[in-house]
Structure 1
């Protein structure tokens, strides 16, 4: 399976600040408010019958489209929060953690990721 045939793929073409970047997907692909994944491709994955499942996507970040033009869009990392929650001293925070699975450790095959976790020019982009 080739991801380039299944979804519109773009690239990071410019990093304009610590909070914003530009991708080469425009108004025909994205609208303001859309979420996009910035990712790199890892290993090819196969099912137990050796059929290709496509390549593993190492997601670097999820961004929001804040501006679109004909051939490009500006994206930013947006964090939602409430000012009243910040000011309230009696907040109960929750945290989600991963727990160990009951698995056969001999079956573990780690994924190969061939890219830095940092966003860089040329990274792949697609709509969530």
Structure 2
């Protein structure tokens, strides 16, 4: 009996944990696609991995974000989970079941080099714009 009680107490502690800091809940209507791509890069830089999460119609967006990161060499896929979640709706007496997907991505070995190259490109592009203005004013 003690083992069962111990197990239940551990489950309660795990269930009460704070939400993951490296989780991004993706919506297909609230933000543009590359907002999530850039945010995922920032989270991977900070936490070495990122968890993308989506419900229902936003699953297509989360898959697209993951594929962009993988195809551009920034991320590797670690885990994919799909399941149904009970979502409470104020207008309905019972919870509604929605499909949920979570994709865990980790940094690639050359993630830092790719990020440095992208930053250098942005600086170069910003510098070119300033030079162009100076040439145009003379």
Question: TM-score per shorter chain, which class?
Answer: under 0.3
Please, what TM-score do these two structures have when normalized by structure 2? 0.22
> More relative contact order in 1 or in 2 (CA 8 Å, sep 6+)?
1
Please, what TM-score do these two structures have when normalized by structure 1? 0.23
Query: Rg: which structure is higher?
Result: 2
